[in-house]
Structure 1
Amino acid sequence: MRTVKKPYPSFHAEHVGSFVLPPRLKQARLAWRQGLMTRDRLTEIENEEVLNVVERQKECGLHAITDGELRVRNGIGDFFSCLTGIEVDETVSSDGDMPHPLRVVGKLDFDDSHPFLTHYRFLHQAVGEGVENLAKQTLPSPNMLMYPAIRTNEVYPSLDAFCDDLAAVYRKIIQAFYRQGCRYIQLDDLFWARLCDSQMMAREHAAGFELSELLERCTRTLNQALAQRPQDMFISLHMCCRRFSPNWVHGRGREVMGHAMANLSVDSLFIEYDDRRPVGLEPLRQVSCQKVVLGVIDSHSAELDAPQSVKMAINTASLYVPLQQLAISPKCGFGHCEQQGITEEQQWAKLRHMVNIAHNVWTMPE
């Protein structure tokens, strides 16, 4: 585990990053697409809504604050398409499992004109410099460019060369955000869940890739990306599941998650945690990071989670990880659950409920 100047922030209630898109912002985007609103006016409305979600997070008692990903329109494509060497290509075949159609068209690079830096500066100012709150920037993990249709390209002569450049670009990204005052980055990564899926791995095997090779490749790329981060820059990895089964404690999932937990040089891991039985949770014994954030709050349902059920999940995990190294969060971002009918107010109610449960389990910063 990496030695840091200070311990990981002592938050025991977090969220994954995204929130339900406010109706006002939905209407503004539609008006902009129809040519009825200028880009400047849309940005003004985005700014106002970001300020609102920052205040709502503080009111809920959350301490790691995001902009709710309210500016994101095209998922990971918004971030990656603004890197040098990546473009959106709707003709790319993804076999139905790649989150966004991207392709490599040149050598990868990053520069300070990237719009996410502007977005972060606004968030940083909105959160303020107080010790109680910390602005958190969410970004896609470098492994989100490891999908076959992206990593196999005509630009790089080998996969090694591609991964080396990818890691180097992320080192530049982390330094760029650090210069803007960022001290907490959350990387969202769906690729690990793909490695747990038998159908997806059958395709990889047919293409000549074994699970062990992909595990090592993903681990090495991510660790190299984080190798030169400042000692007071905290990095978490959100191991998304989305359409893949979140029940990672069985079969191949135990091997994948055990490898990740033991070998990734991140400060915390967000894991979707559906199975509340102690059987099968042995991979948690291998955790090398400072904190594990258990995704036990159901972000797909408006119903408030039963406190005793959440506490049972925490107690079960504490058999393998010390209680003070645990935290809780929703399973995924609320922005990905709008199709389930979750409203803004239901979202905030669930977060307040989660914070109250955490207060009952841990001593939280006031």
Structure 2
Amino acid sequence: MTNSTLTKPFRYDVVGSLLRPQALKQAHAQLAAGAITADQALTIQQLEIKRIVDEQVKLGLHAVTDGEFSRSWWHLDFLWGLTGVGKYDYHQSYKFKGDHTRTDNAELVGKVAFNPDHPFFKAFSYLQSIVPDGVLAKQTIPSPTMLFRDNRSDNWAKFYDSWEAYLTDLAAAYHDTIQHFYDLGCRYLQLDDTTWAFLISKLNDPKLSDSDRQHFEQLSQDGVTVINAALADLPTDLTVTTHICRGNFKSTYLFSGSYDVVAKYLGQLNYDGLFLEYDNERDGNFDALAQIWNHDTHKRLVLGLVTSKFPELENPEDLKARLQTAATKVPLENLALSTQCGFASTEEGNQLTEADQWEKLQLVIDTAKSVWSEA
């Protein structure tokens, strides 16, 4: 896909979430306490979104996001907005390495379907209204595979005669949702996904039983099936990417392991680009890149070499050297650069400042410009 002379994902790109400013956190707390109205909270939220959009444009990003300021979680708020999905207290947090989250979760309460009144549509329309000409409004939502895990679809048999029927409805709900974003003007959408990292951690376990391995491999194939069905027959001028996330909460993580064990599945996904975390040794080496890319000349792999978890800036020369190493597996033409994740997958945010955040993005931009002449 092209936008003028620029191909998306861009040589330097933003993953999605940004640190929530104190004014926004305070407004959400006041709204929850009944101290301000929903309209008052929305006014503050939109002011803060306008501010961070202007900052991204000032940096020179070709695509900008709303920082995910209209949601608390990177995934759950979206899932709750689908028809047939409800909110409940899981009574268990997500156990990150060194910290744990709140206990919110999503579950099936009926058949899954597109919701024409999903609140994310209004949020995107506001973002679209403030993005200047020549800059794209990038929308992020969780992958449909996020309704496979963490008890979210354990009760599928209550509503469906078969697992395959559930997957069909899930794919259709996503397809129609993505199409509606397009109808609202979206031309760049990203499906964020921790399921592949979950599968990486499971399939890399040397103690995994044969039956469990078969289960996780089937889950991997189901992921390919539902994602590709959701992406089928979408407009050709819509770019859809994914971000393979290993967990991002208060600068901690959930999953480790090499991409090798899921590379053959990732290579089957009909995305225009994949954002891959590569900021730490727990991500493995670049050997899996060729299989993930799968000789698709229209696909870009965006390497997340710059961490969003800590403020220390990477050495630009080290980043360029790593890109050249990656280019021995995939042509440099089919590579790009980003941070390894967003800066605030939940409203709590990572352990760095907003100034650190902008410096990280500036490093991504400057490094990419020194590697690709057209960046």
TM-score (norm 2): 0.87
Q: Which residue of 2 aligns with 1:70?
A: 69
2:319 equivalent to 1:310 = yes
Change in CA separation of 1:302 and 1:205 when aligned onto 2, cut-off 3 Å? same
Deviations 1:66-101 (A, max 9, x none): 000011124422111111100011147788599951
The match for 2:364 is: 354
Q: What do the CA deviations read for 1:177-218 (whole angstroms, capped 9, x no partner)?
A: 010000110100000011111389789977795232111111
Paired residues, number: 354
Change in Cα spacing, 1:259 to 1:100, as seen in structure 2 (3 Å) is farther
Q: Which residue of 2 aligns with 1:144?
A: 146
- 155, 159, 174: which is aligned to 1:155? 159
RMSD: 2.7
Structure 2 match to 1:189: 193
Matches within 5 A, 1:292-307: 292-307=301-316
Question: 1 CA distance for matches of 2:191 and 2:359?
Answer: 26
Question: Match for residue 260 of structure 1?
Answer: 265
Please give the secondary structure, in 2, of the residue aligned with 1:263.
Answer: coil
* Partner residue in 1 for 2:250: none
Structure 1 residue aligned with 2:24: 25
Q: For structure 1, which runs of at least 5 residues remain unmatched after alignment?
A: none
Instruction: Work out which of the residue numbers 342, 345, 349 in structure 2 matches 1:333.
Output: 342
Question: After alignment, is 98-107 or 81-90 more displaced?
Answer: 98-107
Structure 2: stretches of 5+ with no match in the other structure: 248-252
Q: Supply the AA of the counterpart residue of 2:57.
A: K
Separation in structure 1 between the aligned mates of residue 94 and residue 65 of structure 2, nearest angstrom: 32
Give 3-state SS (helix, strand or coil) of 2:8's partner: coil
Code of the residue aligned with 1:303 in structure 2: it is E
Equivalent-residue separation in structure 2 for 1:162 and 1:356 (angstroms): 45
Instruction: Give the Å deviation of 1:280.
Output: 4.5
Letter in 1 for 2:140: T
- Are 1:225 and 2:230 counterparts? yes
Map of 2:170 onto structure 1: 166
Q: Which residue of 2 aligns with 1:59?
A: 58
- One of 107, 116, 121 as aligned partner of 1:117: 121
Return the alpha-carbon distance in structure 1 between the equivalents of residues 44 and 94 of structure 2: 37
Residue 86 of structure 2 corresponds to residue 87 of structure 1:
yes
Give 1:336 deviation, angstroms: 3.6
**Equivalent pair of 1:8/1:234 in contact (CA under 8 Å):** no
CA distance in 2, matches of 1:167, 1:70: 26
**Cα distance per residue 1:280-319 (max 9 Å; x no partner):** 5232112145100001101111111111111121111111
Which SS does the other structure have where 1:357 is aligned?
Answer: helix
Question: Residue 179 in 1 paired to residue 179 in 2?
Answer: no
| 1:322 shift after superposition | 1.1
Query: How far apart are the structure 1 equivalents of 2:189 and 2:273?
Result: 11
1:100-115 matched pairs, under 5 angstroms: 100-115=104-119
| Shift in CA distance, 122/200, structure 1 to aligned 2, threshold 3 Å | farther
The C-alpha deviation readout for 1:221-280, integer Å capped at 9, x for no partner, is 1000101211011000100101334442xxxx4121x12332000000000014689x95
For residue 354 of structure 2, what is the aligned residue in structure 1? 344
Q: TM-score, normalised by structure 1?
A: 0.89
SS at match of 1:86: strand
- 2:9/2:302 contact within 8 Å kept: no
CA contact (8 A) 2:113 2:173 kept: yes
Shift of residue 152 of structure 1? 2.4
